[in-house]
Amino acid sequence: MFNSLSALPTAPYNILTYLANNNENIWKMIKYNNYDALSKPNLSMSEKLSYIWKSGAQEDYSVFLTNIVGDAICEEKCILKCYDYYIAATDAFISTPIFAFDFLYGVTMALVDKDGIPVNRGDLFINELLATLNGVYIGGIGKLMFNRNQTRYDFSRSIIADSKKFTGVQIYMSTNMGDTGSVTSCGD
């Protein structure tokens, strides 16, 4: 009986629903592509969850549980991707999944008014994400953390999604997951 990572498949969705319940600014930055996005009305829970793509055409969605997005990216839209990036095995019972958060947006919407001053939309996303998720239990045996002592993959960086019109940030956070799996046998 060894680790089967039973909490892994639902972890990204758990993360997004936690964000939907506990952070308004991230969802405002996803919906509103203008400079005054934070002064716009809050979204309802059902509206936030309606942004999550499940199947079919992607252009009407902005939140994805996969690292690949085919037809959703346009010039003036925010995209949030949340997915497991890497899994490091600690031993037979514990692993450290690293979750990636890609936050992409058009360059003409790169700034947001925050308390009367212009701030970078990506920097604000990182700040809001860490303020909301750092230290939160998402399933498994540990808490989601931004902690280089847990894994060297916990870091953030600026990214360019294409050569001229799209930019964004990436942040990686990790947790520990483990279970005893199920009893299996090859021939009994």
- Structure-derived torsion over alpha carbons of residues 181, 99, 145, 18, reported in degrees to the nearest 10: -90
Q: How far apart are CA 88 and CA 96, in angstroms?
A: 5
Query: Please, are residues 65 and 55 in contact by the beta-carbon 8 Å criterion?
Result: no
Helix (H, G, I), strand (E, B) or coil at 179: coil
Query: Please, are residues 18 and 133 in contact by the beta-carbon 8 Å criterion?
Result: yes
Residue 182 Cα distances to 6, 107, 175, angstroms: 10, 49, 22
Question: Among residues 107, 136, 133, 144, which one has the least CA distance to residue 122?
Answer: 107
Q: Output the six-digit token pair for 169.
A: 């940030």
C-beta neighbour count of 19 within 10 angstroms? 22
Each residue's pLDDT expressed in tens, for the chain with a length of 188 residues: 688 888 899 999 999 999 999 999 999 999 999 999 999 999 999 999 999 999 988 888 999 999 887 765 666 789 999 999 999 998 888 899 999 999 999 888 999 999 999 999 999 999 999 999 999 998 778 899 999 988 889 999 998 766 567 889 999 999 999 886 655 545 55
pTM tops 0.85, yes or no = yes
Could you list the beta-strand ranges (E) of 59-185: 63-64, 79-89, 94-106, 111-114, 117-120, 136-137, 143-144, 156-160, 166-174, 177-178
pLDDT of residue 60: 87
Place of tokens 């990216």: 73
